[in-house]
Amino acid sequence: MTTHRPCTLAVHAGNHADPATGAVAPPIHLATTFRHGPAGERIAGYEYQREGDPTNDRLREALVALEGGATALTFASGMAAMTTLLESLPAGSRVLFPDDCYSGLRMLFSEFLPERGLVVETVDMADLDAVRAACATPLAVLWIETPSNPLLKVCDIAALAEIGHAAGALVIADNTFATPLLQRPLALGADIVMHSTTKYFGGHSDVLGGALVFGRDDGFAKKVAHRLHVTGAVLAPFSAWLTLRGCRSLGARMAMHCANARRLAEFLAAHPAVERVNWPGLPAHPGHAVAARQMRDFGAMLSVELRGGREAALAVAGRLRIFTNATSLGGCESLVEHRASVEGPNPRSPQNLLRVSVGLEDGDDLVADFQQALG
């Protein structure tokens, strides 16, 4: 199975026919407990849903195949995946995060990880010299997010993996924006890949989830699995089933997402009311060459910075008709969000920035919607 191309893997990995019935669609096993022997013998390999269940095993099989990993874990959310992973590090561990990253991760590492005894620093991951300098001090984890949220910064995964490994660090990549259909960090040298499966894997804005895919089934992977089992941030079987169903159309959806994003980004980049479009597929993007080298396509997330500041951005967001003002991303419907307004009391996003999740509507309609909103 792992020799097939990504779109074939997305359809078939974890989706073998049910051996009991021959059903093509996988069954959902909702049981919280499983029959065992009088001395606790696991008759069919399962004991209790928090420790594992057949539906999650199918999803994990698919994730391993798609990312080219050795083992995977599934979680109740992307934040649960990140938290369980980072809290598995020993106290005193130093972790290097990107300066532009998901606001939930920023809150996690600024408010909670120091309480666990972790030493947290940030750096511009696109500046390899700055990363090398930061790695001169002992480092446990180098965390990559590319393309980043919400500025769509691109960093060189292979170069960062080399730097991180030279410093003795684990290299972890958030691949949520790209998905394994566009980018495979493990093949570029990363050790672990993180996903908010809520986004493109689910694909329909109706299921929460997270995942970790490990390049090696080693002691650290087992340590994280044990913490998941004990602390209980598990993915419910029905959520696992919905996510697995989303995998089957991931290739087709990503192709259309990316095509629509290109049309919209090119239109916005030429509009006089727009100061900047952050989308790595544009040749003017500072990370375009790196993205072209390590990605199959450039994704469906972009951000647009409007001339006229906060007021102009909010006015455009308010006039859009097809784009829904909502958080999250990766669903069929196109979304727009003024990130600074939802990032809490200390926003990091520029006040003139709108983050855009380009959906699966007709591309001409999406361009026309922004055209009328920009005036």
Residue 102 annotated among the catalytic residues of the structure: yes
Residue 262 annotated among the catalytic residues of the structure: no
Which neighbouring-strand residues pair with 216? Answer: none
Assigned token pair, 193: 């890949």
What distance in Å separates the CA atoms of residue 34 and residue 329, rounded to the nearest whole number? Answer: 36
The active-site residue, picked from 60, 102, 248, 297, is 102
What distance in Å separates the CA atoms of residue 345 and residue 271, rounded to the nearest whole number? Answer: 31
* 248, containing H or E segment: helix 237-248
CA 277 vs. chain centroid, Å, equals 21
Burial class (CB in 10 A: 0-12, 13-18, 19+), 84: buried
Which neighbouring-strand residues pair with 355? Answer: 303, 337
Assigned token pair, 223: 């340590």
Assigned token pair, 261: 């994003």
What distance in Å separates the CA atoms of residue 119 and residue 24, rounded to the nearest whole number? Answer: 48
Burial class (CB in 10 A: 0-12, 13-18, 19+), 234: buried
* β-bridge pairing 210-214 and 192-195: antiparallel
Please measure the distance between the N-terminal and C-terminal CA atoms of the chain and give it in whole angstroms: 50
Residue 46 annotated among the catalytic residues of the structure: no
The active-site residue, picked from 100, 174, 191, 297, is 174
**Could you count the other beta carbons within 10 Å of the beta carbon of residue 236?**
19
The active-site residue, picked from 153, 199, 253, 276, is 199
Core vs surface per residue 269-304: b (16+ CB within 10 A) or e:
bebeebbbbbbbbbeebebbebbbebbbbbbbbbbb
What distance in Å separates the CA atoms of residue 162 and residue 151, rounded to the nearest whole number? Answer: 24
Assigned token pair, 77: 């959310």
Residue 174 annotated among the catalytic residues of the structure: yes
What distance in Å separates the CA atoms of residue 93 and residue 268, rounded to the nearest whole number? Answer: 43
CA 53 vs. chain centroid, Å, equals 23
Catalytic machinery residues: 50, 102, 174, 199
